[in-house]
Amino acid sequence: MLSRGKQNIVGILIDAVDYDAAIDFVLRAAREKRAAAISALAVHGLMTGALDREQKFRLNHFDLLVPDGQAVRWAINGLHRAGLPDRVYGPSLVLKLCARAAAEGVPVYFYGSTPEVLSSLKQALEKRFPELLIVGMQCSKFRRLAPEEKPVLAAQIRDSGAAIVFVGLGCPRQEVFAYEFREILPMPIVAIGAAFPFLAGTLPEAPRWMQDAGLQWLFRLAAEPRRLWRRYVLLNPTYVLLVMLQALGLSSFSTNGQAPTDELLYG
């Protein structure tokens, strides 16, 4: 198990952890009924905080930010000599957590995506982990929640008996959700991006060699160019530039953000 604390990557505090450390953290919080905000960040997620001070504040108040992307892992190893042997890929983290949850009788809840994706996800997970206790699934509303909806949704998740809630709303909505709900949900909230459709089999994943080479973004861009071109064509080069400036000591990046003035209540 490898855990070397939080490391500054262009102003965002990413935890230098491996799968075992991340899984132990989540399961421990679940057993203790302790609120915790966790996210798996690739370059896009990290850059949403680097370029927005309120999002930076949210992310840097998370309990655990794991390096989902190879480019994030490379930056941690290069800038801080963390020695991470692998990234902590969101979909793989979900599978590993579900395996442990099934073995230990820890009930889980899934929030986000569409009814079709959730139905396929439930079938896939139950086939893979027959003992997994899925106590609830609720699709995204794909809009801002009204203030009065927040306690109702939180009560539904709590009353389900869940000990872990997985949130798949897309970045940055899922991180905003985890930040805003962590005070009223006594359990770890794990934000895991596209893991729902990947694991449901409704969205194709890049071949392993592309993932290992840090080219998963290229596969996704080719699959969804109109939706994702801004994310990858603009943010990826900006990230590389900022990491180079940090590595060369030409720029320092503060981890201080700005406390959000309003709740966004994404759902």
- Which residue carries 């089999």 as its tokens? 201
**Identity of the amino acid at 106:** V
Yes or no: say if 239 and 72 are a contact pair by the CB < 8 Å rule: no
* Interior/surface letters 10-39, b for 16+ CB within 10 angstroms, e for the rest: bbbbbbbbbbebbbebbbebbeeeebbbbb
pLDDT of residue 243: 96
206 lies in a domain? no
**Identity of the amino acid at 200:** A
Yes or no: say if 168 and 113 are a contact pair by the CB < 8 Å rule: yes
pLDDT of residue 225: 80
| Calpha distance 34→150 (Å, rounded) | 19
pLDDT of residue 5: 92
- Which residue carries 């590993």 as its tokens? 96
143 lies in a domain? yes
247 lies in a domain? no
Domains in the chain, number: 1
- Per-residue model confidence as pLDDT tens for the chain (267 residues): 888 899 999 999 999 999 999 999 999 999 999 999 999 999 999 999 999 999 999 999 999 999 999 999 999 999 999 999 999 999 999 999 999 999 999 999 999 999 999 999 999 999 999 999 999 999 998 888 888 889 999 999 999 999 999 999 988 999 999 999 998 999 999 999 889 999 988 888 888 888 888 888 777 877 788 887 777 778 889 999 999 999 999 989 999 999 998 777 676
pLDDT of residue 204: 81
**Identity of the amino acid at 117:** V
Coil/strand/helix, residue 110: strand
33 lies in a domain? yes
Cα dihedral 240, 243, 248, 251 in deg (nearest 10): 120
pLDDT of residue 45: 94
pLDDT of residue 229: 76
**Structural domain span for residue 62:** 3-200
pLDDT of residue 184: 94
Query: Phi and psi for 173 in degrees, rounded to 5?
Result: -60, -40
pLDDT of residue 241: 95
pLDDT of residue 206: 80
pLDDT of residue 19: 97
Q: Is the alpha carbon torsion for 213, 113, 227, 61 positive or negative?
A: negative
Beta bridge partners of 109: 136, 165
Query: Phi and psi for 219 in degrees, rounded to 5?
Result: -60, -45
CATH number where 51 lies: 3.40.50
132 lies in a domain? yes
Q: Return the structure tokens found at 131.
A: 């003992």
**Identity of the amino acid at 133:** L
232 lies in a domain? no
Cα dihedral 74, 182, 114, 137 in deg (nearest 10): 120
215 lies in a domain? no
55 lies in a domain? yes
pLDDT of residue 118: 96
Yes or no: say if 161 and 135 are a contact pair by the CB < 8 Å rule: yes
166 CB burial (10 A radius; 0-12, 13-18, 19+): buried
Task: List Cβ neighbours of 89 (8 Å cut-off, separation of 6 or more).
Answer: 40, 68, 211
